[in-house]
Amino acid sequence: MTAHPPGNGGRLAAIHGWLLLLPAAVLLAAFTHYPAVATFWHSLFTTPRGNRPARFIGADHYRDMLADPIFWTALQNNLVFAAGTILPSIALAMVMALWVNSRISGRSLLRLAYFTPTVLPMIAVANIWLFFYTPDYGLFDQLRGLFGLPAVNWLGSGDTALGAVIVVTVWKEAGFFMIFYLAALQQIPPELGEAAELEGASRWQRFWRVTFPLLMPTTLFVLINATINAFRLVDHLFVMTRGGPDNATSLLLYYIYEVGFKFWDQGYAAALTMVLLALLATVALLKFFWLERKVHYQ
Amino acid sequence: MSETAELSRALVRPIASPAQSSVLADGRIDRILNTLGAWTLGILWLAPLLYAVWTAFHPSAYSTRFELFAPLTLENFRAAWAAAPFPRYFLNTSILVATILAGQLVLGTLAAYAFARFSFPGRDIAFALVLIQLMIMPDVLVVENYRSIHALGLVDTIPAMALPYMASAFGIFLLRQTFKTIPRELEEAARIEGCGTLGILWRVYVPLAKPTYLAYALVSVSHHWNNFLWPLIVTNTVETRPLTVGLAVFAGTDQGIDWAIITAATLLASGPLLIAFLLFQRQFVQSFLRAGIR
């Protein structure tokens, strides 16, 4: 870090460095940093309409938000969605990786099966799942029919719709996260497991005492990604539920889309975006100040 | 290390006492259960795709009836292809994905080189600012980005869909890590031969980072081929709409519930990526692995 070769230190190098960075910096500033700050600024104004320009209203949008039942429903749904997708997809990803990394028969075909949902567009697979969930004709109800069970309107009932959407998300994400665990497992020296085996540890003990702790950095990385995704993935809602029934599957970003681009109330949409940004910032701060210290890196 | 492990394995195995052989039997049951579990999950994971293939290649009468000798047909694909401007959507998506990738590679390479090999005031702060995008992605900033795109007069254009993604923190980070592993001696040698800053980047760093470029390209293409929300917001005509938005419009409108045609359209939209994935599975998985290791 201290001694730089002649070409890369000094004033000329500083100018070259900044010039190289400039194009990316301009676009990053324009489409990531500026909008993050402008969101806050614009959330303090009314939405300009026709000949009425934007008017400063201070915290009014935030006051409206506290009184907006749909906002609270979307936020609550989003927290349930996060809880329902993060842990199951991580646990499944870990199990998948352990299977695919072991000497199981047909493991390359298995790896393919688990990973395939990752390369399919969410909007496309949502169509297929939509059919699975169709009352009477759908695959789920046909299977239930075999056991004489009645049809269920999975996506049309407030009790089951969010769960149905969570299942699709876990299906889509688990295989993607599996890849990171697979990478980590392949870097664990087999001697560690063998040593534990010689000590008489059972497979179960070996997993919890040796493998699981060594996978901790990967788990943290996947956890962060799964958490961000829980607030980012809304594509399937457009096809499967449109946030319904009665907002039972509306998530924060989906509600922002509705307010901003269907009702065209961009001022209020900006205030809602601030909540999303605050949630993501909390995740980032937790990562840097808390989790990062707890995880043991080799 | 590995010799001792080899030795201990060799020592343990031949002298299996009765107690140990029951352990081995347990191991066999264990393995059968694991194989069963793994394959049950595998079939569950493939089921939506298998089902889509079944429905798309059979007349709609067989959409919910599974008979081994049901007649095969390509009629659903023909109907879907005729019912919506899919060729145009394919073209739009291809241009979009190529534009984003080209931008990401050029901007990412330049920025990564600056971060990896130059010292300039404000570098570390700039790097921290870049990493913010890993947490706060353009995907969640759609309201303000629409405002900017509108102000620039770019609504309903392909650049509008591409611009927010062209500077990618992930790409910059990945390339910076790769460039840092390249020995400085190579750079010195090129400098002595008379290469300038960009010459060194082009002749030394870019060729040596090829595997990273390939990995990043696959991840980027599959991500942006599938992207939906932002393109939905900034496009409103057939001339710019990408496949994902086109498919949503197609499935959401007057199709009724002819699942056979909708699944055919779904397979059309996922087809190129899926076929590429099946052909180059190993590279795909390796790329995601490489991109995921930090």
pLDDT in tens, B47-69: 889 888 888 888 877 776 666 77
State whether residue A49 is helix, strand or coil.
Answer: strand
Task: Identify all chain B residues contacting A281, using CB atoms and an 8 Å cutoff.
Answer: 135-136
* Residue A52, phi then psi, degrees to nearest 5: -95, 115
How far apart are the C-alpha atoms of A118 and B222, rounded to whole Å? 9
How far apart are the C-alpha atoms of B38 and A100, rounded to whole Å? 8
Question: pLDDT at position A38, please?
Answer: 94
- Closest approach of B70 to chain A, Cα-based (Å): 18
Question: pLDDT at position B253, please?
Answer: 66
* Residue A45, phi then psi, degrees to nearest 5: -120, 155
Question: pLDDT at position B285, please?
Answer: 72
Name residue B142's amino acid.
V
Tokens of A219: 């788990």
Under DSSP, the state recorded for B70 is P
Q: How many CB atoms lie under 10 A from the CB of residue A23?
A: 17
* Candidate from B106, B119, B136 with C-beta closest to A32: B136
Q: Which residues of B217-249 are buried (b: 16+ CB within 10 A; e: fewer)?
A: bbbbbbbbbbbbbbbbbbbeeeebbbbbbbbbe
Q: Cβ distance A102 to A94 under 8 Å?
A: no
* CA-closest candidate to residue A267, choices A113, A25, A45, A68: A45
How far apart are the C-alpha atoms of B200 and B204, rounded to whole Å? 5
Q: How far is CA A275 from CA A54, A223, A271, A279, B126, in A?
A: 21, 21, 7, 6, 26
Instruction: Quote the distance between the C-alpha of residue A141 and its chain's center.
Output: 29
* Candidate from A18, A121, A131 with C-beta closest to B259: A131
Under DSSP, the state recorded for A103 is -
pLDDT at B254 over 60: no
Task: Identify all chain A residues contacting B63, using CB atoms and an 8 Å cutoff.
Answer: 137
* Residue A297, phi then psi, degrees to nearest 5: -95, 140
* CA-closest candidate to residue B159, choices B235, B87, B223: B235
* Candidate from B111, B252, B292 with C-beta closest to A20: B111
Work out the pLDDT band at A289, boundaries 50, 70, 90. confident
Q: Which residues of B179-216 are buried (b: 16+ CB within 10 A; e: fewer)?
A: beebeeeebeebbeeebebeebbeebbbeebeebbebb
How far apart are the C-alpha atoms of A238 and A86, rounded to whole Å? 21
Query: Of the given ranges (A45-54, B92-101, B131-140, B240-249), which has the lowest mean pLDDT?
Result: A45-54
Task: Identify all chain B residues contacting A12, using CB atoms and an 8 Å cutoff.
Answer: none
Give the nearest chain B residue to A109 (CA atoms).
Answer: B42
Query: What are A52's strand-pairing partners?
Result: A49
Task: Identify all chain A residues contacting B130, using CB atoms and an 8 Å cutoff.
Answer: 24, 28
Work out the pLDDT band at B278, boundaries 50, 70, 90. confident
Look at the alpha carbons of B260, B261, B266, B267 in this order and tell me if their dihedral is positive or negative.
positive
Query: What are A285's strand-pairing partners?
Result: none
Phi-psi region of B136 (alpha: psi -120 to 50; beta: other; left: phi over 0): beta
pLDDT at A8 over 70: no
- Closest approach of A263 to chain B, Cα-based (Å): 13
In this predicted complex, what is the ipTM? Answer: 0.87
Task: Identify all chain B residues contacting A45, using CB atoms and an 8 Å cutoff.
Answer: none
Give the up-direction half-sphere exposure of residue B257: CA atoms within 13 A in the CB hemisphere: 11
Show Cβ contacts of residue B143 under 8 Å, excluding neighbours closer than 6 positions: A35, A39, A256, A260, A266, A269, A270, A273
Prior bond to A245 cis, omega within 30?
yes
Three-state SS annotation for A217-273: HHHHHHHHHHHHHHCCCCHHHHHHCCCCCCCCCCCHHHHHHHHHHCCCCHHHHHHHH
Q: Cβ distance A136 to A154 under 8 Å?
A: no
Q: How many CB atoms lie under 10 A from the CB of residue B289?
A: 16
Give the nearest chain A residue to B30 (CA atoms).
Answer: A203
Tokens of A131: 């059919």
Show Cβ contacts of residue A229 under 8 Å, excluding neighbours closer than 6 positions: A85, A169, A173
Name residue A297's amino acid.
Y
Give the nearest chain A residue to B142 (CA atoms).
Answer: A257
Any CB–CB contact under 8 A between A31 and chain B?
yes
* Residue A155, phi then psi, degrees to nearest 5: -90, -10
pLDDT at A298 over 70: no
Dihedral angle of Cα B124, B130, B136, B138, to the nearest 10 degrees: 170
Instruction: Quote the distance between the C-alpha of residue A222 and its chain's center.
Output: 10
Instruction: Quote the distance between the C-alpha of residue B12 and its chain's center.
Output: 45
Average pLDDT of the residues in B101-116: 95
Average pLDDT of the residues in B223-232: 93
pLDDT in tens, A114-146: 988 988 899 888 988 988 888 777 778 878 878
Query: What are A49's strand-pairing partners?
Result: A52
**pTM of the predicted structure, to 2 decimals:** 0.87
* CA-closest candidate to residue A92, choices A222, A201, A220, A183: A222
Q: With pLDDT > 70 as the criterion, what percentage of chain B qualifies?
A: 85
For residue B139, count CB atoms less than 10 angstroms from its CB and return exposed for 0-12, middle for 13-18, buried for 19 or more.
buried
Any CB–CB contact under 8 A between A121 and chain B?
yes
Question: pLDDT at position A2, please?
Answer: 39
Question: pLDDT at position B134, please?
Answer: 87
Average pLDDT of the residues in B92-98: 95
